[in-house]
Structure 1
Amino acid sequence: MAEPGTTTTTTPRERYRAQVREEVKKHAWEQIATAGASALSLNAIAKQMGMSGPALYRYFAGRDELITELVRDGYRSLADTFLSVHAAASAYDSRPELAALAHALRGWALEDPHRYFLLYGTPVPGYHAPDDITGIASEIMSVLLDACVALDPDATAPVTPFDTHLAAHRQWADPHPAPATALHRALTCWTRLHGVLSLEAAGHFTGMSLDPAQLYEAELHALLKP
């Protein structure tokens, strides 16, 4: 998006290229929904679009570039969702923010389970995401860390053996200055909430006669305790 007061000029060729790339990604998501990301095929997409395989490769160099675009779009979508919650949070009470982030995460995941599993499910065999993907993912964790720090702003010293471990192994959270106790809370929130979400999105609660939403709320209630 252009900054206010500036103009962005694109040629018809550039607009057409962007349109074709978006159409390719649409067909890619349909393939993923049908057969999974590991079965993604640019040649099959080309056939659906009435193009030759070599013609489509002018828009995406290969499967990995296409997956990277889908993963980047997914992380960007979740990061923007978290940033929106963060911006709207009350400056006087951090607890609703962490709860709001958790609710936003669940809504985002269940809105498109295939997108969720591409990011947080089984890795695609042979695929390695580029470094810039990690940068977008760190935005998500940074918002979560802000909320966790706000829950206990005076905490500084590690209080458990794992806190001590995190104080020395915090590269995943850098450059955020969160103390080890906040790192621990953030990881606990992330793993427990994703644990419930991944089971729910995969349908593993079907037939168990329980409400996954209430299970998620119970986990969140426990995580919000001081």
Structure 2
Amino acid sequence: MSTPRQRYREQVRSEIKQAALAQIGDGGAAALSLNAVAKQLGMTGPAIYKYFDGRDDLLTELILDGYADVAAAVRAGVSEGTPRERLHGLARAFFDWTLANPHLFQLLAGTPSPGYHAPPESVERAREVLGPFLPVFGQGRCGPAAEPLREEMLRWVEEAPAVADWVRTSAPGGDPATALTGSLLVWIRLQGILSLQVQGQFTGMGHRAATLLTVEMDALADTMSL
């Protein structure tokens, strides 16, 4: 059971992160200033270092929290139905989360600041986002266009036991290389659509991002024989 002191510390840390996210939402990751966050919360600049070691430490926590949040949203999109229907459900869950959290998506999708290096743990968190897609694609079959990528994924599975374990745990019974191929392709397509959407690049182009999402997921399902 946590003590009042521990609960207070966690409350302040949460308030700091919320204020940081608001700054990022207004001006991007480059706008994040610990001094500005401290001032907003009525703290002195040095006091904030009692809760975070520095700007990069705060960014890291925001990124890890973001991955956990989107992973939960994608898991909530798991549904019954055909593999194609399940793919659409998962992709839409990712899409809806991004539209609700555009600044957080940009934090996950890009480099927050020059010289920043994400911790190894962020790779594990990203895998949690892709995990629900693996069993969907594990039921498919790579078409000719995707076969060269599948061969590379097969070598990756053979050379990286941790990756092989992750795929086999998430998609038991399916072909690991095929599951990885589809998951990589869906990640690329989602990142492409959503990055352009949150940057406003589709403005004035006469289509809805949701329509483009449907078209791309159907095309991917065809490629993977879903």
Give the TM-score taking structure 1 as reference length.
0.85
1:185 aligns with 2:182: yes
User: Mean Cα displacement is larger for which, 33-42 or 67-76?
Assistant: 33-42
Pairwise CA distance, 1:187: 1.4
Partner of 2:138: 149
| 1:1-226 alignment runs, 5 A limit | 9-86=1-78, 89-90=79-80, 93-152=82-141, 160-170=147-157, 171=160, 173-175=163-165, 176-177=167-168, 178-225=175-222, 226=225
Q: Which sections of structure 2, spanning at least 5 residues, go unmatched?
A: 169-174
Q: In structure 1, the residue corresponding to 2:203 is in which secondary structure? A: coil
**Structure 1 CA distance for aligned equivalents of residues 206 and 74 of structure 2:** 31
What SS does the corresponding residue of 1:126 show, helix, strand or coil?
A: coil
Per-residue Cα deviation, 1:17-44 (whole angstroms, up to 9, x for no partner): 1111111011101111122212311111
Aligned residues between the structures: 211
4+ residue runs of structure 1 moved beyond 6 angstroms?
A: none
Whether the aligned pair in 1 keeps the contact of 2:88 and 2:214 (CA below 8 Å) is no
Unpaired stretches in structure 1, ≥5 consecutive residues: 1-8
Q: Distance in 1 between matches of 2:190 and 2:52?
A: 35
Distance 2:95 2:57 in 1: 28
Q: Which amino acid aligns with 1:196?
A: I
Change (3 A) 1:61 1:75: same
Root-mean-square deviation over aligned CA pairs: 2.0
Distance, in Å, in 1 between the alignment partners of 2:11 and 2:69 is 19
| Richer in helix (by share) | 2
CA contact (8 A) 1:95 1:151 kept: no
Comparing 162-171 with 37-46, greater Cα deviation is found at 162-171
Deviation sequence 1:46-98 (CA, Å, 0-9, x none): 11111111111101111111111110110001111122223xx22x6322211
Q: Distance in 2 between matches of 1:145 and 1:31?
A: 35
